[in-house]
Amino acid sequence: MYTGTCLCGGIQFRIDAELEPIQICHCSQCRKAQGTAIATNTPVSTAVFQFIKGQDLLTEFESSPGKKRCFCKVCGSPVYSHKASLPGVLRIRAGLLNEPLTAKPAAHFHTASKCNWWTINDELPQYP
């Protein structure tokens, strides 16, 4: 089991499963949504995700057709995103998780649009 919170602690959740490998996204939308060079996401089934408290603090923004980014309306922490084309899957922001993770990064995605000031210094696969 893993637990996570937003920055203010108003949103608390748990995941009752092992985590999938972490996906590192470099697309411009993720950069703007996170305010940083990358987003680190782990896909989680809605069947194993549960709010402990603060679900009422969650708000969402449809950043592109069928893709919604969900975040805390108090502190602004991005919590997860979900796509209509992938029903039942949440892409949890790995930085919100409290426990040490056994899941490791698997690959870099959307590297063709990565920011020019961030260097990828690992041997993970890269996908444009």
What's the pLDDT score for residue 68? 98
Q: Structural domain tally of the chain?
A: 1
In the chain, what are the helix, strand and coil shares in percent, each to the nearest 5? 15, 45, 40
115 and 35 Cβ atoms separated by less than 8 Å: no
pLDDT digits (tens, 9 = 90+) for 43-66: 999 999 999 999 999 999 999 999
Q: How confident is the model at residue 30 (pLDDT cuts 50, 70, 90)?
A: very high
pLDDT in tens, 76-105: 999 999 999 999 999 999 999 999 999 999
Does this model's pTM top 0.75?
yes
pLDDT for the residue numbered 19: 98
What range does the domain containing 103 cover? 2-127
CATH number for the domain that contains residue 71: 2.170.150.70
pLDDT at 89: 98
